[in-house]
Amino acid sequence: MTYRALFLDIDGTILQPDHTYTPSTLEAIRQVKEAGLEVFLCTGRPFVDIQKLTADFEIASSITYNGAYALYQDDVIFNAPMKKEDVEKMVAIAGQSESELVLYTTENNYFTSLSNPHVEDFNEVFQLYQNKLFTPDVADKIVSASAINVTEDQVKDFEITDDYQLTKVNVPHASESYDVLRTSVNKGVAIKQMLSHLNISPSEIIAFGDGMNDKEMLQFAGTGIAMGNADARLMEYADFQTTSVTDSGIFNGLKKLGLVN
């Protein structure tokens, strides 16, 4: 099999629970780049907060905000903001409960509160820095969102149309946080746009992930690989499971495919 591109989730796939990555991950990415593969970070994280990783791995292209914003080098390939009225509804719902929202634009992370302890914990886990207090004038610029301190019986409140679903974040210490996902906009949709731009077929790509926000990505990829620490529900969408993020999962998965040594 000839592969031309590699798509990598970040949290729980590249990054371990302590926010570090193993030397084997850096080496694996170096080897596949040397072999000529295009490498993309493909994450729910904001574009503005992954710049250290892009520099560390010398990766110039990314899909961020769970598929809402795709960048190939300096070119924007896909940009899909949420509807303003949907953002306003979610903010109103959060205001009627003890939940909080982080609403992402391509430049900043807007929180419904910056002082709430749950928000502070969320920022510590995900290392978000470009943070501001949400104001209504940015409601038409939101590309993605996360809900914080949400109980299970509140999840449906935020799923305001059939296009929205909340998926629990598969990261330790963030158990009451959820990605606000759209059926119409996800990692798989963004990858499809990227492959069309680059004239690459799905059979020529590999994708690694660990959470349910990686479902469409693993489904779409010719070879979808679930991390050893992945959400158990993700396995039905993967071709195989590698070792965990703390046990050289990316390196071992690529080694199984004969791409690293």
The tens digit of pLDDT for each residue in 185-205 reads 999 999 999 999 999 999 999
Q: Which residues contact 81 (CB under 8 A, 6 or more apart)?
A: 68, 140, 141, 142, 143
Assigned domain for 61 exists: yes
What is the reported pLDDT for 173? 62
* Structure tokens belonging to residue 17: 């629970």
Average pLDDT over residues 139-159: 94
Assigned domain for 88 exists: yes
The pLDDT-based confidence of 174 (bands split at 50, 70, 90) is low
Supply the range of the domain harboring residue 196. Answer: 5-79+185-256
Same domain, 59 and 89: no
Average pLDDT over residues 122-147: 92
Same domain, 174 and 89: yes
Q: Give the CATH number, domain containing residue 165.
A: 3.30.1240.10
Last residue of a domain, one of 160, 182, 204: 182
Same domain, 94 and 161: yes
Is residue 164 pLDDT above 90, yes or no?
Answer: yes
Same domain, 159 and 173: yes
Same domain, 42 and 158: no
Q: Give the CATH number, domain containing residue 229.
A: 3.40.50.1000
Last residue of a domain, one of 152, 182, 212: 182
Same domain, 171 and 112: yes
Label residue 161 left, alpha or beta by phi (over 0 means left) and psi (-120 to 50 means alpha).
beta
Same domain, 16 and 62: yes
To the nearest whole percent, how much of the chain has pLDDT over 90?
Answer: 86
Range from 9-13, 30-34, 149-153, 188-192 carrying the lowest mean pLDDT: 149-153
Same domain, 175 and 46: no
Average pLDDT over residues 249-260: 98
Domain count for the chain:
2
What is the reported pLDDT for 235? 96
What is the reported pLDDT for 175? 59
Same domain, 196 and 227: yes
Assigned domain for 56 exists: yes
Same domain, 201 and 118: no
Assigned domain for 261 exists: no
Structure confidence by residue, pLDDT tens digits, 58-81? 999 999 999 999 999 989 999 999
**Buried-exposed string 178-202: b where 16+ CB fall within 10 A, e elsewhere:** bbbbbeebbbbbbbbbbbeeeebeb
Is residue 171 pLDDT above 80, yes or no?
Answer: no
Same domain, 145 and 95: yes
Last residue of a domain, one of 128, 151, 182: 182
